[in-house]
Structure 1
């Protein structure tokens, strides 16, 4: 429970967690009668993954004063998250989403009920009691700045303060084009946020859209020129590509993906990848080891129905890493 934390969090994530209803059976949502209730949100998936690996992770957000908000708070606290910065908004509801049960690794159709949600009213004020001096790392995604102008201000404020206080910052663009007024606005805003970040984690198509560059080498170069020290690009089943100067001099390489026999649900793969890379770099692994761990945890995430149910704890991760062929 959150009150058992005396020290402030060492890692901070922020954004919108939603209550998710996943169809029990395949088919159109209009035909489904039974759903399982879960929690959804790219930012919380990463927070939960890092918490399971033993990091003290704080979650900054808003939920409504409703049963869905209580469910989210309880779920996150049970996952070991520090929810002292999770505010209850009495004026606005918790966001919901409904997800199809997809077949054969197809992307499931999702319907959101999040407009005007409590989390869309996030603002810099919500960060007023954060101890930025205690933070070791902040993970950000492109979703909060897409929710509203005030949530965008919170994203800028949080990254600026974290940077000024010497925390490392990772940024996953996590493109949600439907939430943005225009593609140009999305591009401009997310590239500006990436400028505050040390480690940028786009998918290849996301990176191409945001930078206008084609190759992984050039996409990475765009962000390295803006001040990032590492760019780790997701290549889907092919694995990942690294270009950066974490070890003192610049290097670039591709790390092969992990074979997955049975893809159940692709949602959450990128978040699992982020958990692997961030935890690896915070653990002091080499860039190659961190990218390998990203591939490995991303591959776990797609073998289960939920978004974060496949994320391993430290013991499970050690067993998985022991089983891997060494590169």
Structure 2
């Protein structure tokens, strides 16, 4: 393991399992789909890919098999500009893969077939991961999916979320996946990890399913320790409770709600991870709480209005120098700065990240 201080610091580090995903060539049951197209999936790596595409320095740390699928994951994630130099290769265990049907994950007909049991990522543990590289970021992003993979993975998350001097800001996305847990104690574990984090993302639907909580205020009361709690409320918007807000009046923090813009959805996948990336990007830039939520909605919209699960790859310069800040981030800044009336009438469709939209007229620049 490297000596403390020898790892290059980055804006955001994410730890978790990434898998090769096979996307159907047409809608229908998995039994009826004749062919699939290969892609990449993984909540934590999705977040740092989006952040890298937005111009931030990022690192993904995980374990993959010493196989072709592992090669593909490392190369594909690295193509976004994410540092993948600390990904471990496991000669004994395979890279996880999964197949899914087209369309919205919330649909009754949606199917996912996971082949991740015994994967390389499930062997992540305190003793075999580079903790210095994991902690060398301004923000460390984790999710509840990792905790469900194995007892060793849960032990690693408990180590990383434990109080310690110099700990990075811990961002935790609850990501409740009932099918991954081997025992009924999953919701209790997720609550424990969320309470140990500094910034928590949780959907109101998953809080209801996991903890029986209804409403943003009840969720905040169940999570009193984190500085910031973001409650995602689907197409309606999101509420954040932030104790660091200038107008904070009580221990729960100031409650700020921002409605999501209307979006012409092309593919209803990847929005949650993109929302977290947008919020984290604005947090790194020190933007006000309202604008952090707006950037979360805008980055989610960038994914929802495109056919894939990810933002487009950032353009690389011929001299191999880092990619310049993408123009769509400047556009997102202008949209996030709209007055309340302008934001309330915002409509986003395919191509809005590529060309100025009429909705931007009158927006205040930054």
Q: TM-score, normalised by structure 2?
A: 0.81
Q: Distance in 2 between matches of 1:131 and 1:70?
A: 20
Residue segments in structure 2 that go unaligned for 5+ positions in a row: 1-5, 315-324, 341-366
Q: Is the Cα contact below 8 Å between 1:21 and 1:98 reproduced in 2?
A: yes
Partner of 1:201: 201
Secondary structure of the residue aligned to 2:261 is coil
Task: Give yes or no for contact 1:234–1:240 (8 Å, CA) kept in 2.
Answer: yes
Taking the aligned partners of 1:75 and 1:31, their CA distance within structure 2 comes to 28
Query: Which of 144, 147, 162 does residue 145 from structure 1 map onto?
Result: 147
Specify which of 257, 260, 280 is matched with residue 260 of structure 2.
257
Partner of 1:21: 22
Match of 1:130, SS state, is helix
Name which of structure 1's ranges 29-38 and 229-238 shifts more when overlaid on structure 2: 29-38
Q: CA–CA distance in 2 between the matches of 1:210 and 1:228? A: 18
Within 5 Å, give how 1:218-229 maps onto structure 2: 218-223=218-223, 225=224, 227-229=225-227
Change (3 A) 1:105 1:143: closer
CA distance in 1, matches of 2:105, 2:191: 34
2:13·2:136 contact (CA, 8 Å) conserved in 1? no
Select between 309-318 and 163-172 the one with higher mean Cα deviation.
309-318
Q: CA deviation at 1:306?
A: 2.3
Quick check: 2:20–2:40 contact (8 Å CA) kept in 1? yes
Please give the root-mean-square deviation of Cα atoms over the aligned residues, in Å: 2.3
What is the match of residue 78 of structure 1? Answer: 79
Range with bigger deviation, 32-41 or 248-257: 248-257
Q: Secondary structure at the match of 1:164?
A: coil
Q: Which stretch shifts more, 196-205 or 300-309? A: 300-309
Assess if the C-alpha contact under 8 Å between 2:19 and 2:41 holds in 1: yes
Q: Quick one: structure 1 residues 202 and 57, their matched pair in 2 at CA, closer, same or farther if it must change by over 3 Å?
A: same
CA drift at 1:105: 8.5
Question: Relative to 1, partners in 2 of residues 1:104 and 1:111: Cα closer, same or farther, differing over 3 Å?
Answer: closer
The aligned counterpart of 2:362 is none
Structure of larger gyration radius: 2
Count of residues paired in the alignment: 318
The correspondence of residues 69-218 of structure 1 with structure 2, limited to 5 A, is 69-102=70-103, 106=107, 108-131=110-133, 134-160=136-162, 164-183=165-184, 185-218=185-218
User: Using a 3 Å threshold, how does the CA distance of structure 1 residues 155 and 129 change in structure 2: closer, same or farther?
Assistant: closer
User: Does the aligned pair in 2 maintain the 1:18–1:95 contact within 8 Å?
Assistant: yes
- Residue 211 of structure 1 deviates from its aligned partner by 4.0
Larger mean Cα displacement after TM superposition, 238-247 or 171-180:
238-247
Contact 1:21 1:35 in 2 (8 A): yes
Q: Give the Cα–Cα distance (whole angstroms) in 2 for the partners of residues 125 and 170 of structure 1.
A: 22
Question: What's the TM-score, normalizing by structure 1?
Answer: 0.90
Answer 1 or 2: which has greater helix percent: 1
Structure 1 unaligned runs (5+)?
Answer: none
Residue equivalent to 1:266? 268
For the Cα contact (< 8 Å) 2:19–2:96, is it kept in 1?
A: yes
